[in-house]
Chain A
Amino acid sequence: MIDVFGAATAALLVCMAMTLARSILGPTVFDRILAVNSFGTKTVLLIAVYGFLTGRPDFLDLALVYALMNFIGTIAVMKFVRFSDLAGMEDEAEDTF
């Protein structure tokens, strides 16, 4: 019998490999940030699917924590790249927003 969880896990792993290749190849820093963000999204999905694959859905707590951490990390790195600083964005924000 074809296990759909195994198929989904394999698809997610292949896709994560492609995303990781983009994060290494990426010509600009934004490509790398996008690839790492997408990698984190796929990690969340992988944790959820793998929990069902092994019959232990308790891993979903880790997936929840990872989803929030991934979002905060992406926003922090994006802000650092954009303003070259994590704290002082008020001055530049006036004319960019």
Chain B
Amino acid sequence: MAGAVTEVLSWVLIGAGSIFVIIGGVGILRLPDFYTRIHAAGITDTMGTWLILTGLMFQSGWNLVTAKLVFLLFFMVATSPLASHALAKSAFLRDLKPLLGRNLIHEESHD
């Protein structure tokens, strides 16, 4: 009984993670601007990673594989927001303008 519950829970988590990964991929391809694409990549980095790796942890049980998955989750969660932040800050300091306004156009520069 407990095995079946764990199995179904793992399937649900991995399926939901796959859906979020697909959403992030479509967003990276379709969104109009670099800063919005960072948002789409963040969906994959947080929800996709959390859900898929947690689902794999439920699948593996308590052994060394679970410890490796915990390490993997820790590294991903620690490093991917840092990379996204560094990337956004680097782009902003290199004067990459975000799209602004109702129709999402590049704002006129006043200098």
Beyond A4-B14, A12-B21, whether A48 also contacts B90 by CB under 8 A is no
Residue with the highest number of chain A CB atoms closer than 10 Å, among B14, B48, B52, B90: B90
Q: Which residues of B contact A4 (CB under 8 A)?
A: 10-11, 14-15, 55
A33's closest neighbor in chain B, by CB? B87
- Interface size classification for chain B: 35 or more
Q: Mark A66-97, 1 if CB is under 8 A from B, else 0.
A: 01101100110011011000000000000010
Q: How distant is A37 from chain B, measured CB to nearest CB, in Å?
A: 6
Helix, strand, loop or mixed for chain B's interface? helix
Contact flag A57-B21 (CB < 8 Å), given A4-B11, A18-B26, A96-B93: no
Structural contact, A18 and B29, CB atoms closer than 8 A: yes
A45-B21, A48-B56 given; A34·B41 CB < 8 A:
yes
User: Interface residues of A, CB < 8 Å — how many?
Assistant: 44
- CB within 8 Å of B: which A27-72 residues: 28, 30-31, 33-35, 37-38, 41-42, 44-45, 48-49, 52, 57, 60-61, 63-64, 67-68, 70-71
Minimum Cβ distance to chain B for residue A61 (Å): 7
> Could you tell me if B52 and A8 are in contact, using CB atoms closer than 8 angstroms?
yes
- Which of B18, B34, B56, B83 is the one whose CB lies under 8 Å from A37? B83
Q: Are B56 and A49 in contact (CB under 8 A)?
A: yes
Complex: how many Å from CA A68 to CA B37? 22
- For B59-99 the 0/1 string (1 means CB < 8 A from A) is 11000010011011001100110111011001101101000
